């Protein structure tokens, strides 16, 4: 990898590590409101699926090592075993589908949005399955508390990411940061 590529991946990983811990608890849900998914939509749309996945992997490793980069300024393996552990795994699906669709359909904002939706469906599926298992509830009960309250916000994050990503790409090219 080129130094510029490594630097770009590090910058987007740092952005995720800075933004992801700040959350807003929601009284009706064990899952807090977070902008981590926005950062993953945004960065994977710009970087593509391989580098987007690498950003998620580095973030994940940093968090598992105990650095407080997960929601609520937490870290460690216990976070993976908690109610949001399945959602942390789901971040990889968002990075993959968002980045893949951004690469393959760079000319179509609709297709890029569909990629984000598919990634979010996988995130919600794995996160909800994990949550239902831990809380001994049905999938539907877990989805009502951990997916439904976030749907409009997720759509808003996707739209903002799709609008900001091309503008950011232009500035990155001017700054000669690597998108290769």
Structure tokens at 35: 């902008």
The pLDDT profile of the chain, 180 residues, written as one tens digit per residue, is: 789 899 999 999 999 999 999 999 888 888 888 999 999 999 999 999 999 999 999 999 999 999 999 999 999 999 999 989 999 999 999 999 999 999 999 999 999 999 999 999 999 999 999 999 999 999 999 999 999 999 999 999 999 999 999 999 989 888 877 676
Distance CA 49, CA 171 (A): 20
Residue 114 CA neighbour count, 13 Å, CB half = 9
Domain boundaries, the chain: 3-165
3-165: CATH number: 1.10.1760.20
Instruction: Provide CB contacts within 8 A for 6, sequence distance 6+.
Output: none
Write down the pTM of the prediction.
0.94
């Amino acid at each position: 990898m080129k130094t510029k590529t490594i630097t770009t991946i590090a910058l987007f990983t740092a952005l995720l590590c800075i933004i992801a811990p700040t959350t807003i608890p929601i009284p009706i849900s064990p899952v807090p409101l977070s902008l981590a998914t926005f950062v993953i939509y945004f960065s994977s749309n710009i970087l593509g699926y391989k580098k987007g996945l690498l950003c998620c992997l580095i973030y994940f490793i940093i968090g598992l090592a105990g650095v407080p980069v997960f929601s609520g300024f937490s870290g460690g393996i216990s976070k993976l075993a908690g109610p949001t552990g399945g959602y942390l795994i789901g971040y990889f699906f968002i990075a993959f589908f968002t980045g893949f669709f951004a690469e393959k359909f760079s000319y179509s904002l609709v297709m890029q949005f569909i990629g984000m939706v598919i990634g979010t469906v996988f995130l919600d599926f794995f996160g909800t399955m994990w949550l239902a298992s831990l809380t001994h509830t049905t999938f539907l009960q877990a989805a009502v508390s951990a997916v439904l309250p976030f749907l409009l916000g997720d759509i808003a994050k996707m739209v903002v990411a799709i609008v900001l990503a091309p503008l950011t790409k232009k500035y990155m090219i001017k700054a000669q940061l690597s998108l290769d």
